[in-house]
Amino acid sequence: MIILLKPIFFFLCFFFYTPFSVSSTPPTEISALKSFKSSIKPSSIPPYSCIGSWVFSSDPCSNPKTIHFLCGLTCDDSNRVVSITLDSVGYSGTLTPLVSQLSQLVVLDLGQNSFYGTIPPSISSLSLLQTISFRFNSFSGSIPSSIGQLKSLQDLDFSGNSLSGQLPNTLFLLSRLTRLDLSFNKFSGQLPKLPLNLLELAIKGNSLSGLITKFSFTGLTQLETVELSSNSFSGVLQSWFFQLPSLQQINLSNNSLTGVEIWKPSQGYNELVAVDLGFNKIEGYLSVNFTNYPVLASLSLRYNRLRGPIPLEYCKKSSLRRLFLDGNYLSGSPPAGFFTSGGKYSTLSGSLGDNCLQGCPRKSQLCLPTQKPMSMCKQIYGGKKPRKF
């Protein structure tokens, strides 16, 4: 009986299992993958690379991954492509617009290759996409404004390309986005309204200009890191900025800011660890209010146009590890507490050099480089000797 039933059992199994066992990657996805590969110059595809193993005599998702499709893509249980994560071997080519046919795609990572051309607007239809990294390729043109449709996007990294133009106003529609890195491109114009759930914002090394406005940052209650150095931002950095409740690290060095307003932290607004505002055009006095941020460990205001004394509170601030105030017109005597040997401030590094300070002890590392010549300081202080404080 059992012997008789066995073939029937196998037959039934085969019959019912067939649609699943030979199920394969949908044709639209195969054609998208073929187009993806054929948009890359064959000469830039090493045989040992991931894309080198994309040989379409096998099914991309369902073949046993021992000969072909060894890496570079993953599929889900229904043989749909969910991620493309390329190796960095110097693939050179364009990104096919047909990538939009991979409708279950969650991750698209082409990082550190040589993709060029424009970013196809069709990627905006990939509604499940959570991570895009095109970092360090050669993409050019602007970011398609349809990007705002990527409702699932959490991590967007276009850093290190040749993208240009204004940042799209639709960026703020990316309501799940927590990390945005557009550093080292050629973006210009003003900072648009930013997505509300950002934790990390990095757009360093571009040509953004105008003011840092409340309009861009309102509601960004989770923002921890702001990296906007080496742009052309101007005007006064206003006090609301430092009140963003989760802010920890700010780098706005190498811009054209002319002033900085900082208030004492409000209750609960006190996570600020590092502030770099060096190489701007900041005028006015050094505010004592920085010292009211309880965990501030690193402050740079080097190479600005600050004048007046260094408030005593700076040498009493025990959380401070790095203090760069060199290259300003600070005057008076630096607080003696900076130089008490063996004291708890001996761990402070940085510089008070290249100012108009008097009596900065030469033997202290903090006093290097030497102060400005008296003649330059006199000029700045309207011919008067810098006031002694």
Ligand X SMILES: *[C@@H]1O[C@H](CO)[C@@H](O)[C@H](O)[C@H]1NC(C)=O
Applying CB under 6 A, the residues found at the interface with ligand X are 204, 229-230, 251, 253-254, 262-264, 274, 276, 287-289, 298, 300
237-265 burial: b if 16+ Cβ within 10 Å, else e = bbeebbebeebebbbbbbbebbebebeeb
Q: Which is nearer to ligand X, 182 or 262 (CB)?
A: 262
Determine contact, residues 112/135, Cβ cutoff 8 Å: yes
- Long-range residue pairs from 231-234, CB within 8 A, at least 24 positions apart, any chain: 231/203, 231/204, 231/205, 231/206, 231/207, 231/255, 232/207, 232/208, 232/256, 233/191, 233/208, 233/209, 233/257, 234/209, 234/210, 234/258
Q: Which is nearer to ligand X, 83 or 253 (CB)?
A: 253
Q: How far is the CB of 135 from ligand X (least distance, A)?
A: 16
Q: How far is the CB of 282 from ligand X (least distance, A)?
A: 12
Q: How far is the CB of 110 from ligand X (least distance, A)?
A: 24
Q: Which is nearer to ligand X, 170 or 298 (CB)?
A: 298
Backbone angles phi, psi at 125, to 5 degrees: -85, 0
Q: Which is nearer to ligand X, 207 or 379 (CB)?
A: 207
Q: How far is the CB of 389 from ligand X (least distance, A)?
A: 14
Q: How far is the CB of 243 from ligand X (least distance, A)?
A: 10
Q: How far is the CB of 286 from ligand X (least distance, A)?
A: 8
Q: How far is the CB of 330 from ligand X (least distance, A)?
A: 14
Q: How many CB atoms lie within 10 A of CB 362?
A: 9
Spell out the alpha helix ranges (H) of 136-238: 214-217
Q: Which is nearer to ligand X, 208 or 352 (CB)?
A: 208
The number of helices, as runs of H, and strands, as runs of E, in the chain is 6, 25
Q: Which is nearer to ligand X, 123 or 228 (CB)?
A: 228
Q: Is 145 exposed, middle or buried (0-12, 13-18, 19+ CB in 10 A)?
A: middle
Q: Which is nearer to ligand X, 159 or 230 (CB)?
A: 230
Q: How many CB atoms lie within 10 A of CB 176?
A: 14
